[in-house]
Amino acid sequence: MKVDVLLGLQWGDEGKGKIVDVLTPKYDIIARFQGGPNAGHTLEFNGIKHVLHTIPSGIFRENTLNIVGNGVVIDPVIFKKEISALVELGVDVTSNLVLSKKAHLILPTHRLLDAASEKAKGKEKIGSTLKGIGPTYMDKTGRNGLRIGDITEAYFLEKYNTLKQKHLSLLAQFEYDTSELDAMEKTWLAAAEELKKLKHIDSEHELNNAMKTGKAVLAEGAQGSLLDIDFGSYPFVTSSNTVCAGACTGLGIAPNRIGEVFGIFKAYCTRVGSGPFPTELFDDDGELMQKEGNEFGATTGRPRRCGWIDLPALKYACMINGVTKLIMMKADVLSCFDNIKVCTHYNYKGEEISHFPYDVAESLVSPIYEELPGWKQDLTGITDLDNLPIQLISYVEFLEKELELPITIISVGPNRSQTIHRDKALA
């Protein structure tokens, strides 16, 4: 068996959580491979709306094992809150949730460093979620980090205090207020104790052995491909590899063990925080998109910037991920428009190009659009492919031709049931 990978192709918030939940019955294991509580994966089903941050989106399926992989960074406080919320819904997390011993821990001082760094940048801030993600990955690459496997060791507190002192020295340089640290630390240490109740595993062995025995594995990405630390719109990116290759390093899976790569995108485009956004709308269309799509961050609550779909960026994301199947989300949001615009090319420094360049700053790039007829029809109650409006099918076929990949699922609402399958193998 091979590992299938599911990831976002834009700047995040594509709807990955819903689709993982939809596809989970076909898999024995769901494994998160990067990111941390900066993710917000929203699931809606049976009258329940739930947001997950670190825990894989297969957690509501009783017979599915959920693995938090080594590439993920974990804040014990947020993780504990996630678990408590699931327990209230009747989910037995002790039976189907395990943590990689090699996953790194977010300390309270990581969060303070994140806030201090962002404040110091002033107008040049990157739009961090302030969850301590970046500083934690910095300690990971700097070989100073604390990991899940350290929690149960006798040296844990000594190692924790050593790292804390390093952080306090840095915070002193920022002249940042640390008066809240004692209270934060008390809560954090109590939450870290709670993590001991979950099973800690050598996840790379667990996953590879599972494949040998024929178990189906789905790797779940967080954030979006255009936020990748190497291939995203740097420096306005996250601190991990959000692309398909991140599943190899974030789970211990060899490249030749990757199977299908499901790429998820919205029928339009959004972005949270700072950074370039070539198709961003600053008019009534953008406001309407935001309102109809309820475009507010699941983690931060910040309003998402909205714009038309961007094909040069989408083609780029498909290329670097090796996408095999596409999944289009939020088609229902565009039902309010008479006409739909598609960015097919850029005007880049006075030249027309169709690729995603090194820098997509507003001063360098302007979108070139093609206009297609809208469908002006409520899609949210449609359950059958044959009942979709012809204008939507034309839109889908246009995108398929441009992207040279099949769109296998169309989402027409946030609920699990509001999912139209064009590939019966995924139904």
Active site residues: 13, 41
**Distance of CA 24 to CAs 27, 229, 373, Å?**
5, 28, 35
Q: How many CA atoms lie within 13 A of 293 on its CB side?
A: 32
CA–CA distance, 220 with 18 (Å, rounded to integer): 11
* Cα first-last separation, the chain: 20
Q: For residue 235, say if its preceding peptide bond is cis, omega within 30 degrees of 0.
A: yes
Residue 140, token pair as written in the block: 């990971």
* Bridge pairing between strands 217-220 and 29-32: parallel
CA–CA distance, 21 with 264 (Å, rounded to integer): 13
In one letter, which amino acid is 137?
A: Y
**Quick one: which of 223, 207, 219 has its CA closest to 245?**
219
Are 203 and 31 in contact, with CB atoms under 8 Å apart?
yes
In one letter, which amino acid is 227?
A: L
